Structures are given as C-alpha cells and as structure tokens.
Amino acid sequence: MTAAGATWAGTHVFTAPALVDATTIDEVRRVVAAGGPVRALGTRHSFHDLADTAGTLVTVTGIPADPVLDAERREVTVGAGTRYGVLARWLDDRGWALHNLGSLPHISIGGATATGTHGSGHGNGVLTTAVRRLEYVDQAGALAEVRSDDADFAALAVGLGAFGIVVRVTLTIEPSYRMRQDVYAGLTWDAFLADPDAVTGAAHSVSVFTTWGDDEVGDIWVKSRLDAFRPLAGARPYAETASLVGSTDNLTEQLGIPGAWCDRLPHFRLDATPSNGDEIQSEYFVARSEAAAALTAVRRLADDIRPHLLVSELRTVRADDLWLSGAYQRDTLAIHFTWANHPEQVRALLPAIEAALAPFGARPHWGKWHTMGADAVAAVVPRLADARAVFDRLDPQARFANAHLRRLGLR
C-alpha cells in the first residue's frame, strides 16, 4: 500500500506513488505547477479508483474551511475539503441552511458535488445544484473560477476532478428550518408500485429501505419540515428507533422529535462512524416516471441479490441541467445497493442488474461500483462528449485525467 492508503470502506487501495496533504491553496498550486499527473483526494468516500492517479494525490481536507457568509446574496463560500456536516452546523448557528444533505454528513463538499451526490426529495436537486461558483487550480497551477452563469459551468459543476483541483465552493443558502424524522413499515409492494410518487413525494425527503422481500417493501424514512408534516398513509409508524445496517447508535434522531435540519436530513450523525463501513456500494439513476417498471425489473433478481445485500435505498431527485448529473433533464429515482463485502459475487451480479435497468436508460453513480464501459455510459449520458471536450480544452496535457476517466470515455 502506498502512503495514500485506501478508500473509506477499503474497496480500493490507491496506487498513486506520491501524496501531499495540503494545508493551503498555495500548496495545491505548487503541486500542480510541478508537473505530471495529479488528482484531488477528499474524504475518500468513493468505492473505486476514480480519485487515483499515476502521479501525485493532493488532499484538500486539511485546508481551513474559512466560511464566508453573504446574507444579502444568500450564499456561503467555503473550502472544498470541508465536510458537509461541519458547514451545516456553522450555517445553522447563524440561522441559515442548505436545501438538502446526503445520507452521510462526513463527505466533503468538493467531492460530493463533483460526483453528483444527492439526498432525496421530489423538489430537491443533487447537492451540486446549490453550487454557484467553483474556485480551482488549473493545469498551469493558477487559480481559476467558474460561475453558474458561465458557459462551461454545466460541464464543470459535476466535473469528477477532470479539469482541475477545486479548492473553494460557493453554495446557495436559505433560512434555517426545523424538521422531524419518522420511520414507517407495513407498506406492501403492491401498494407502493401502484403509486410510487405518493410515497416518495410524501415529505421534504423520503428514503425507502428494502431488501427486495416478497410482500412488504421495508422501512420508509420520512423527513418532514415541521410546517408540512402529515402521516404516511397505508403504513404504520415505528414506536422505537429503527436500525439501518446494524446499531442505532450512529443514527440521527427519529420518532418525530423536532430538530434542526442539519440533525434530521442525514441518516448518520457527524460524531459517529457512518454506515456499516465494511461494504460495497452501487447506485443507478432512472426516470422517476418509470419507477414502478424499473423496480419490478430489479425485483425479478431478488433471489440473486439478497444473499449479498445489506440493504437497498430508493430516493428521488429533481431534474437539473448539469451535463454529468445523474438527474440531467429528468426527475429521477435513484436505486442504491449497499452490499456486503463480497467483491467477486457483487461484480458478477452488477451486469445482470444493469441489463435489467438498461431499458430505462439507467445511469451509474460516478463514485460507486458499476460495470458500464464507455459505450454504455455514452448511450445514457447525452452530454458526455460535450463535457469531455470542455475537459480536454481546459486540460490539454491531461494532467487531471486518469485510467478511470478514460475507461468511462470522459477523457
């Protein structure tokens, strides 16, 4: 193992021969200006070699957050390596909020937005839809920026680190709000598939957890703004805290207890170990309008899936215009798999799942396991070639390219 170590769950051991733990933006500039391949490394919450390089990895998590609040413009600017949970608490202490959060508050803002990571909710875009400006170190080692009204923004917002090292991010904010989290069970598959939108659109953020059983769907985690709460029809509320993939000690508070948005939107607490840890993750995005048919197709594989599955999570995402977003130009259902650490069996299963979802134009989550090659990805990502052209123009020497991006046809 090199000094760079491994990803968070140990699913990829980095091969980069050099690692620089930057503590300032100037250090990042010096690393890039020195020449050779280079890639940014955040909180390591990807599951493969997306962040790896044949040259130097440079971490941005040690650069101070230095948040700057602009209340008039309703924006905050912060270090890209800052964890979402840290910024969320800082904002809430000042009466402000983000539109949404992912399941884990431990992920870095730069890494999450660069890969199109998302929370849930019919009205909530991927986390990247809050980005208004990226400040990055370009292929010459100079500081550059792109704003949301610039021509290149749609390509760079979900940019996979393919054009530079993002060091500062500006996000839109809104007044702080309070929420409650309720968990329900007892909903049958027949009832759910008859009207998926009635369930997934029942609150600000809804997650459906399932192991693809024959009758009941599983647990439905409903996160409601206090002024818009209503019980979920056709299901029974839990009277005690529901677990996810093990202990309940690392979960945010349930049972309808009011709390700040930053303490209810994530599944896991920032001060605890997230998720199971010893796991593999995969996720695919399909049009929300085809949810029932896509889920039915996956259910046909349930007997093959269950022996290797910890849990699946179903979430929804609002359409956007970001070229490499999983929700590009379509309201989306995200079908997520948290697998047991059975790498050979999971690798063998993924092609069958991808074949089942192929009729629905399923797109992969960039940070998680899939087996889709360049041709398959190009067929479901309409602006992939356009994004690649922007990356090639901004980085003509392919300083920020790597084997993973080349396999996808993105460099």
CB atoms under 10 Å from CB of 198, counted, come to 13
4-8, 112-116, 228-232, 256-260: lowest mean pLDDT where? Answer: 4-8
Which pLDDT score, from 0 to 100, does residue 276 have? 61
Residue 134 pLDDT grade (very low, low, confident, very high; cuts 50, 70, 90) = very high
Positive or negative: CA dihedral 380, 386, 387, 389: positive
- Mean pLDDT along residues 181-193: 95
Residue 247 pLDDT grade (very low, low, confident, very high; cuts 50, 70, 90) = low
Closest of 281, 294, 282, 300 to residue 330, by C-alpha:
294
Residue 24 pLDDT grade (very low, low, confident, very high; cuts 50, 70, 90) = very high
Which pLDDT score, from 0 to 100, does residue 1 have? 46
Q: What is the pTM of this model?
A: 0.95
Query: pLDDT tens digit string along 208-228?
Result: 999 998 899 999 999 999 999
Rounded distance, CA 209 to CA 247, Å?
A: 16
- Mean pLDDT along residues 76-103: 96
Rounded distance, CA 91 to CA 94, Å?
A: 5
Phi, psi of 37 (to 5 degrees): -65, 145
Residue 244 pLDDT grade (very low, low, confident, very high; cuts 50, 70, 90) = low
Phi, psi of 381 (to 5 degrees): -115, 95
Which pLDDT score, from 0 to 100, does residue 61 have? 96
Q: Which amino acid is at 63?
A: I
Rounded distance, CA 231 to CA 22, Å?
A: 48
* DSSP state letters, 275-321: S-SSEEEEEEEEEGGGHHHHHHHHHTTHHHHGGGEEEEEEEEE--B-
| For residue 252, pLDDT beyond 90 | no
| Domains, the chain, with CATH or none | 178-372 (3.30.70.2520)
Rounded distance, CA 17 to CA 12, Å?
A: 15
| For residue 146, pLDDT beyond 70 | yes
How many residues does the structure list for the chain? 411
Residue 360 pLDDT grade (very low, low, confident, very high; cuts 50, 70, 90) = very high
